[in-house]
Structure 1
Amino acid sequence: MARMSMIEAIRSAMDVSMERNDDVVVFGEDVGYFGGVFRCTAGLQQKYGKTRCFDTPISELGIVGAAIGMAAYGLRPCIEIQFADYVYPAFDQIASEAARIRYRSNGQFTCPIVIRMPTGGGIFGGQTHSQSPEALFTHVSGLKVVVPSNPVDAKGLLIAAIEDPDPVIFLEPKRLYNGPFDGHHDKPVTPWSKHALGEVPEGHFTVPLGKAEVRRAGAELTVLAYGTMTYVSEAAAADTGIDAEIIDLKTLLPLDLETIVASVSKTGRCVIVHEATLTSGFGAELAALVQKHCFYHLEAPITRVTGWDTPYPHAQEWDYFPGPARVGRAMIETMEG
């Protein structure tokens, strides 16, 4: 075991995967010589050479398109989109090509690519460096969508994603990149700080895709969250004193519906928390599933706590995404409902 930040765990996952399989290649903007804007790929080019870890032009469309071609040829690209906000020019390649190759070729071709993207706010990045676009990808059949919340899961899920035969969108909450986070953190995290956050196995291991985890057991209320919002929800539960069961979804597609249904059926109440905007956010899908499968167990309306339905505000970002106070109010209201 080693003490690692999430950045170090992600780097370790790529290192282990590249060492075990010569078909794994890593590329993207500034990921080679510089080691990535958040340093997730630091040292990989020096260790594996410029043919397996290399820089690309500033063209997300080109990065993803090249990765799809490589994957069809038999390689396993693990590519980086520098910020999730930059992925939109490549969305057609992801939705129309990567997600459909297995189906349109009747299984003759697969697309084993991983698309890594820093997501969410916390560094005052404004409208072009802070978005949470996970709902766009969960709408696309053929993709898997992963959002880790801690270094152990980040490494295990990333290795599992790289070994998966189909395309995986791997969203990395940048507020969790660098150190301890208790949910009350109210200042931007310095991307290059070096605070350890968890004990992580140094070698090869995987965390299964499609399996959620009960982060905090409880009997009064269920909170469904992922990424940074798991910590915010834990802080809200501590502040309010509510015996909340907090589920870290970890994988949005495929979704661990069994764990969700078991928890909500037990508690009878459900609060859903995510950083993305409310309208058509992934919380809407979660609410629909809970309503369908747990209707006769619900004691109060399902509540969502999310970002605002506005373009991402630069100066007000710490008010934009849910904090313990907002989540705590929702938990209290749900208990009173």
Structure 2
Amino acid sequence: MKIKPIAFVLPQFHPIPENDQWWGKGFTEWTNVTKAQPLFEGHYQPQLPTDLGFYDLRLPEARQAQADLAQAYGIQGFCYYHYWFNGKRLLEQPIDGMLQQKDLNMPFMLCWANENWTRRWDGNEDDVLMKQDYNLEDDKEHMRWLCENVFSDSRYIKVDNKPVFVLYRHSLLPDIKKTAAIWREIAINEFGFPDLYLCITDSFGETSVPQKLGFDAAIEFSPLAVIKNKLKINQKKGLFDFFKKKSKSSPIDLRDFELGVKNCIEKKIPDYKFYRCVTPSWDNTARKKERGAVAIGSSPELYYKWLDYIVKHFIPYSVEENFIFINAMNEWAEGNHLEPCIKYGTAYLEATKKALEN
């Protein structure tokens, strides 16, 4: 059975009034990316785009170019982050534009990034900018909006005609089983879908058996899985000299990417439906500066080894339950992107294509 590779896509590459107010006029993800500075000798920052440039995802041409690039290297679908706050949507223009852009032939699904928005980037996590207020009436409104406006699109990814919908932080919902039941009831009884195909992610250690929550499957959230291990510099020859700090401030949070990949490869796969996921690299100092974390040891070669292993060992659960996820296509401010950059060019995309073709 063929595998269907899906890449996560961040839509925050266009200005919105809320970000103008919170972070300054004209803020986008590129604002953080272009301000990044190397924090130690040999630190790869700033990470800047090449082939696609500093795009604006409000533009049809930008969305088309992004999809064309992904498809040229074997990626068959996008998973867009979706931001819903009790009927208020943020960063919605790329998705709305894509829904209207019927000639953009790229299958897609949505992942509800259901966290509060806070000033986490500047260290004030208690300062809530946009709050999630979970309630069952909102669950109904949310699913009705999704079914009417998104799931009905012919390009939306489905399993046996059931729209695939991903929930990022399931533990935050007060009654997740009730929410799942409401969602399914509306999709079936009000909109005529045979059912929904609901997925959770195992982010932030939130590992649960999806069926016990009323969900169908879980998705490995590899960015967090791969950076769990602090780098032990005394075990890495030569790194004392390599990591000479440019300042005398607090130590940089260095993570062992190679060990993280090793642990992910050797992970015991649960007996429920569990979709594997890989990550190119990690460095979120563009967002958090010296409070960020830098994963040491990532490379296109190691990424290829990881993805190649997943491709060769993943057995689809059915003809249409055949997803492998890549996180992410364009998380530039987290140093986590397949899109070409000034250092690696298309190397990560080429590694992706090579592993998928194997």
Range of TM-score over shorter length: under 0.3
Higher relative contact order (CA 8 A, sep 6+): 2
